[in-house]
Amino acid sequence: MTAIDPLRAEQKALRAQAREFAGDVLAHVRDVTDPLPTPTERYRATRPFYRQMVEAGFLRRLIPQALGGDGTGASTTAVLAEELVAGDPSVALHLFSTGLGLTPLLRFGTLSQHQQFLAPFLTATGTPLASLALSEPGGTANLDERDPGTGMNVGLRTTARHDGGHWSIDGEKQWVSHASGWDGSGPDLMTVVCRTGDDPDPRRSTAVLLLPGPIEGLRITEVLEPLGHRAHLLPRFSLTDVRVPATNLLGEVGDGLGIVAASFGGALIGACATGVMRAAFDVVLQFARTDRRGGLVPVVEHQGVGFQLADIKTRIEAVRSLTRAACSAVDRGSPGAEELSVHAKIFGSEAAVQTLVELMRVVGVDSYGHHLPLAGLLQDALAYPLFSGGNIGFRRRRLHALLADPTYDAWSTVDD
């Protein structure tokens, strides 16, 4: 008799809970947010939905059990992401971007920092938010490069100056989830990537600092209007003489590049891509089975449509399987975990865009309006090749570096 794997049983229960929540709660988000004219209004209108998500215990699922949460690893998080994104990508992004904002603290924080900053995210009440403030105007894809003329780090312009027992932070950031918080005063916790001191080498000067909200010296300079995730806020903002205690430094000065690399895992994007593709596929399959487009039979009976849907379903299953393999490797600490995570991010994100376009072709011109969810889902999917490190400027470069390394084992992804 085969023993039941407790983790698999937990994942099945979580999938059922998240799927029910997505159908009962998140399926109604766009009805509330779509009619609102500005990004800020749409974002604030999601707060009750996000509160229900926190109260359901989903935020605690992003915090490891060892630190007081309910998280049991990347594989379980991927199950949660697929279901919640299929319900509503914007509010799901609220949750997982908060998880991203917490990741440096979870992975590199001291016991004292955990005790000081994690409490609001463990209570399963309220609407706590966290941000990882990395991206800047001009881009940060070359975070680790220096200007050969001046020797200075040109990929990161936000600075932190040590002043007695404090750090003083100055700079500009953009495309940072929740940077404004719900009321403009910042999130409950902002994790800021910056450079320190006069050392031009980013491997010795990059640092990560913890800023609890409300943040004095934070000013929202522009509310960016995103193409997709239109109920999620990604503003541009400045930090001017923002002072935090010296004890708010994560690790040591010079640890910043490693902290950033470890925080942007990538595999979760594969789960989000699967959720968006699944939501769109359900809509189009129902359409194909019931709509004749003025013909004699439902459009699914036409071989061209049937073959198209079959290929799309194969692609969805492939992305899910690759994502599961990547998350499992992460949970086991496998040597192939980084590579699989990059594959899941690149292949999953680009498959989502391709899939949405092909599904819209099945429906035809009716998919071009917002009375069906397909146009909105395509807008959401277009973010995935850009989020969590762009596929060209960041992800493929990481994969290229692995392939060029003389110690690289091409089949560690299989042998493990």
Domain ranges in the chain? 6-122, 130-253, 264-415
**Is the Cβ–Cβ distance between 84 and 95 less than 8 Å?**
yes
> CB atoms < 10 A from the CB of 412, how many?
16
In sequence order, which residues have a C-beta less than 8 Å from that of residue 361 and are 6 or more positions away? 308, 367
User: Looking at the domain that runs over 6-122, which CATH code has it been given?
Assistant: 1.10.540.10
Structure tokens at 245: 């205690």
* CA-closest candidate to residue 362, choices 280, 297, 296: 280
Q: Can the peptide bond before residue 214 be classed as cis, meaning omega within 30 degrees of 0?
A: yes
Scored b (16 or more CB within 10 A) or e, 337-373 reads bbbbbbbbbbbbbbbbbebbebbbebbeeebeeeebb
State residue 1's pLDDT score: 47
> CB atoms < 10 A from the CB of 121, how many?
27
Q: Report CA Rg, the chain.
A: 22
Structure tokens at 100: 């991203």
Distance CA 384, CA 346 (A): 9
Match domain 130-253 to its CATH number in 2.60.40.420, 2.40.110.10, 3.30.300.130, 3.40.30.10.
Answer: 2.40.110.10
Distance CA 192, CA 209 (A): 5
**What burial class does residue 15 get, using C-beta atoms within 10 Å of its C-beta: 0-12 exposed, 13-18 middle, 19+ buried?**
middle
- pLDDT string in tens for the chain (416-residue length): 455 566 688 899 999 999 999 999 999 999 999 999 999 999 999 999 999 999 999 999 999 999 999 999 999 999 999 999 999 999 999 999 999 999 999 999 999 999 999 999 999 999 999 999 999 887 766 666 666 665 555 668 899 999 889 999 999 999 999 999 999 999 999 999 999 877 778 888 899 999 999 999 999 999 989 999 999 999 999 999 999 999 999 999 989 889 988 888 778 999 999 999 999 999 999 999 998 888 889 989 999 999 999 999 999 999 999 999 999 999 999 988 999 999 999 999 999 999 999 999 999 999 999 999 999 999 999 999 998 778 887 788 888 888 899 998 888 888 66
Distance CA 158, CA 47 (A): 30
Name residue 206's beta-bridge partners. 195
CA distances in angstroms from 148 to 34, 114, 137, 200, 201, listed in the order given = 48, 39, 21, 10, 11
State residue 199's pLDDT score: 76
Domain 264-415 matching CATH 1.10.357.10: the answer reads no
What stretches of 66-165 adopt beta strand conformation (E)?
Answer: 130-133, 159-163
Structure tokens at 131: 């941000």
**What burial class does residue 168 get, using C-beta atoms within 10 Å of its C-beta: 0-12 exposed, 13-18 middle, 19+ buried?**
middle
Name residue 207's beta-bridge partners. 194
> CB atoms < 10 A from the CB of 146, how many?
16
Longest dimension (CA), the chain: 80
Read off the amino acid at residue 67. L
